[in-house]
Amino acid sequence: MSAKTDTIAIRTAFSEQFNLKYPIICAPMFLVSSVKMVVSVCEAGAMGTFPALNYRPVERYHEAIKEIKSLTGKPFGINIIVQKSNKYQQRHLEIALEERVPLIITSLGNPKEVIRLAHQVGTRVYCDVIGLEHAKKAADLGADGLIAVGCGAGGHAGEISPFALIPYLVRQVKLPVAASGSIVDGAGMAAAFSLGAAAAYVGTRFIASAEAEVSEEYKRAILSSRPEDIVNTAKVDGFPGNFIRTKELEAVGLETSLGEEILSRSKRIRRWIALSRAARSLLADDKSKVSYKTVFSAGQGVGLIEGILPVAEIIQNMVEEYRSVKAQLP
């Protein structure tokens, strides 16, 4: 990072919506994003977010929101899972709206009620989507923007290349699109913006940060992994997601059994299996075999991450590299 701190804002539809300096979202990461990380990201000029399920019981979640608001006046966001496996979703939403949280990110379900109630108090809603069908539904319901979750993103990821998904959604759905899928540096930002994205949705890079309250083993795994080490599997929580291949992940059993293959031919049974796995992993205790506490979620951009840095330095490096790449393009 240069000695001179960058002071020039990057203006996009997303940064204009929230009056942000930089259109960068630190993605909500299960059991990774914390108050400390959210505040650090916000104070560095970007959008910090966290999953509501990171704080349990619900009272702790409410306390986390209040703590963030006491430490920064900048906008931040909360991810709420809006499907049956999340038995806390109604209270998560009620508290977020009571506290006038600026941004709610919905995932794994129907965002209709979230959008309706959020707009009553001025909260904006962005929806995770992996294809056009869901994107159009979210737009029709009144979503304020989309998170285009492309192939290679950490956690739950789609199957379409970001190079196809981002411009496709931008062209077909007239909403700001945040680009997700292996963006870890300024070059990735430049690529996303060139495809029409209004924000860079960055997760894995922030796991290797000073503020990430995860184990040193997790951080070392991020630094030592290659794109080839990322495995896409639904065995962890029922929905296809990207994880680092470790002995703990392999113990889950990555191969699909004949019985599972036969049962999965039924859409109803396939959904039941997914929801039951989701509940078992998202709400699991420390002794559970299948849990985000024992396996490491990460995207395919791990091979580009070379060190553990403070959040503010990560963001500043991204911005400066973005400007450099932009200036050097033919």
Tell me, what's the pLDDT at 166? 97
Kindly tell me if the per-residue pLDDT of 186 is higher than 60: yes
Per residue in 188-222, pLDDT (tens digit) is 999 999 999 999 999 999 999 999 999 999 999 99
Closest to 203 measured CA to CA, from 8, 33, 75: 33
254 or 327: which leads in pLDDT: 327
How many angstroms separate the CA atoms of 22 and 11, rounded?
A: 7
How many angstroms separate the CA atoms of 190 and 318, rounded?
A: 10
- Region 100-127: mean pLDDT is 96
How many angstroms separate the CA atoms of 325 and 35, rounded?
A: 32
pTM confidence score: 0.88
Confidence of residue 330 (pLDDT cuts 50, 70, 90): confident
Tell me, what's the pLDDT at 152? 93
Per residue in 222-271, pLDDT (tens digit) is 999 999 999 988 878 777 889 999 888 888 766 555 455 554 555 555 45
How many angstroms separate the CA atoms of 42 and 300, rounded?
A: 25
Ordered domains of the chain (ranges, CATH)? 13-214+305-324 (3.20.20.70), 216-282 (no CATH)
- Region 113-124: mean pLDDT is 97
Tell me, what's the pLDDT at 134? 94
Mean pLDDT of the chain: 89
Tell me, what's the pLDDT at 199? 98
Per residue in 143-185, pLDDT (tens digit) is 999 999 999 999 888 899 999 999 999 999 999 999 999 999 9
Tell me, what's the pLDDT at 294? 77
Per residue in 4-45, pLDDT (tens digit) is 456 689 999 999 999 999 999 999 999 999 999 999 999 999
Radius of gyration of the chain (CA): 19
Kindly tell me if the per-residue pLDDT of 89 is higher than 80: yes
Contacts of 120 by beta carbon, 8 Å cutoff, 6+ apart: 97
Tell me, what's the pLDDT at 257? 52
Tell me, what's the pLDDT at 84? 77
Tell me, what's the pLDDT at 6? 61
